[in-house]
Structure 1
Amino acid sequence: MNPTNPFLLFSFFLFIFSACNFYISNKCSYPVWPATAANVGHPVLANGGFYLPPGAQRKVQAPADWVGRIWARTGCKFGSNTIPACETGDCGGRLQCNGLIGAPPVTLAQFALQADKNKPNFYDVSLVDGYNIPISVTSIPYSFKCRIGGCKKDLNHICPQELEVLNDDGEIVACKSACLAFNNDKFCCRNEYGTPSKCKPSIYSKIFKEACPSYYSYAYDNPSPLVNCVSDDYLITFCPYTKWTNGIEST
């Protein structure tokens, strides 16, 4: 940056003072590789991905009007020359996705921030393409109305066999959505099923909704799980519950 250019200085300070902070926390018992992908016209955050060991937290700054998604990759083995490098959420075998979208199924936290600080930000957690691990989102300072909770059950534990994703050891590491698994218009809410009146919950989306009631379970989930809140800081937690007993949350 040229320190003698008033416009660049103004732009720099405008970014600093109008930015939003994501605090990304890993409460899983295993490492995750958080990843980000921005919508067209918005910058990539944290080069698109990084390593986060169990119990760690990292601050990621975003422009006040940022729009994009955040997810966790699991079971990654970078440097092994294997593609995909991650068992879930892989982005072309890269540590830093740098704009690439992760391969589904994966649990997605989606954000649409507003540059006007008097207007609310919009965000949700989606299972429309499937699930790998639970995510919670809360505002800082905490507000119950701004919270998206985790899951009551581990979807990998109750995933129907036809939706299961297995790793090389035969372990269930993710659960596909019915749309992803079957590529069927009825499950994907498209073509003749492309309206809320035509696309209804399926037996599969109901399983997702029962396990994770705060998330989108299919495209036209109603009432909408979309949250809108005014805040400059958000805590995104992977595996917000520290313990699962027989696939059910424990505190």
Structure 2
Amino acid sequence: MGIASPQGGTTKLDGSPHPGSWAQQPGTYTFYVPDGWAVGRVWAKSGCSGGGAGSTCLVGDCPGGCDGVKNGAAGATLAEFTMNAYMNSDSYNISIVDGYNFPMQITATAGCPTASCGTTQDLLEVCDPSLIFPKGSDKIYSCNSACGNAIQFQDGTSGQLVSADIADSPSCCVKNGVAVDHKDCPNTYIPFYKQMKSLCKTAYVYSDDDMY
């Protein structure tokens, strides 16, 4: 598992610092984050070898090691949180903008809505071959986003798939290296959007999915 926020500050139940990466056994696990814990992420790594928190993984590892501040590399399903930061409220979402490797669900208290992705159908079982990550692997460790695997529609919103320049790609919502306004990046630009969204109705499928 991995956890990160630019401000850090995650602790174990005894108040000691929590590591940025750990081996998670099945069952309940609890940790604390500070008020104002912003742009926080929790994710599961996959394709790991070596065992324990020091293992190396094909999906979700952090460059130079996970320290609780650095985000993991692309490919993992993300649970994203900002706690008590804006108008004394919490926000959360699930994102597969950087890829999908495990089903995930966030269940909140006080009647707040549930966020989920892949809980009714594992996306790895229906992942299009063009989205398999790592590319060329003999096993699907992650189903990447169209942007992450650098593909786009030949004619922007239709036609066959072609290789994309991620610095100038409709599927990445970027033109000439600069993010475009959300209204200029509708879901019609995103290959496999309808399939992904049908299985992740309350999750981000691409960066401008706020519109949907």
Shorter-chain TM range is 0.7 to 0.9
C-alpha separation in 2, matches of 1:87 and 1:171: 11
Structure 2 unaligned blocks of 5 or more? 12-17, 151-165
Structure 1 unaligned blocks of 5 or more? 1-33, 225-251
**2:162 matched residue in structure 1:** none
**2:180 matched residue in structure 1:** 194
1:159 deviates by 1.0
Q: Is the 8 A contact 1:167 1:173 kept in 2?
A: no
Instruction: Supply the AA of the counterpart residue of 1:177.
Output: S
**2:9 matched residue in structure 1:** 43
TM-score w.r.t. structure 2 length? 0.75
C-alpha separation in 2, matches of 1:191 and 1:167: 24
Pairwise CA RMSD of aligned residues?
A: 2.8
With a CA cutoff of 8 Å and minimum separation of 6, indicate the structure with the bigger relative contact order: 1
Q: Is the 8 A contact 1:78 1:93 kept in 2?
A: no
TM-score w.r.t. structure 1 length? 0.64
**1:205 matched residue in structure 2:** 193
Question: Structure 1 residue 216 and structure 2 residue 204: aligned?
Answer: yes
SS of alignment partner, residue 197 of structure 2: helix
C-alpha separation in 2, matches of 1:35 and 1:191: 31
C-alpha separation in 2, matches of 1:136 and 1:223: 21
C-alpha separation in 2, matches of 1:179 and 1:215: 17
**1:125 matched residue in structure 2:** 94
Distance 1:203 1:79, change over 3 A: closer
Decide which structure has greater helix share. Answer: 1
**Count of matched residue positions in the alignment of Structure 1 and Structure 2:** 183
SS of alignment partner, residue 70 of structure 1: strand
- 2:36 is aligned, of 52, 58, 65, to 65
For the pair shown, the structure with the greater C-alpha radius of gyration is 1
Instruction: Supply the AA of the counterpart residue of 2:56.
Output: A
Kindly provide the CA deviation profile for residues 131-157 of structure 1, in whole angstroms up to 9, marking residues without a partner as x: 11111111246x3x3311342321111
Where has structure 1 moved over 6 Å in runs of 4 or more?
none
C-alpha separation in 1, matches of 2:142 and 2:51: 23
**1:177 matched residue in structure 2:** 145
Instruction: Supply the AA of the counterpart residue of 2:70.
Output: L
State, as a whole percentage, how many aligned pairs show the same letter.
Answer: 28
SS of alignment partner, residue 58 of structure 1: coil
Question: Structure 1 residue 114 and structure 2 residue 84: aligned?
Answer: yes
C-alpha separation in 2, matches of 1:185 and 1:169: 25
C-alpha separation in 1, matches of 2:124 and 2:79: 18
C-alpha separation in 2, matches of 1:93 and 1:53: 24
C-alpha separation in 1, matches of 2:137 and 2:146: 24
Distance 1:98 1:149, change over 3 A: closer
**1:86 matched residue in structure 2:** 57
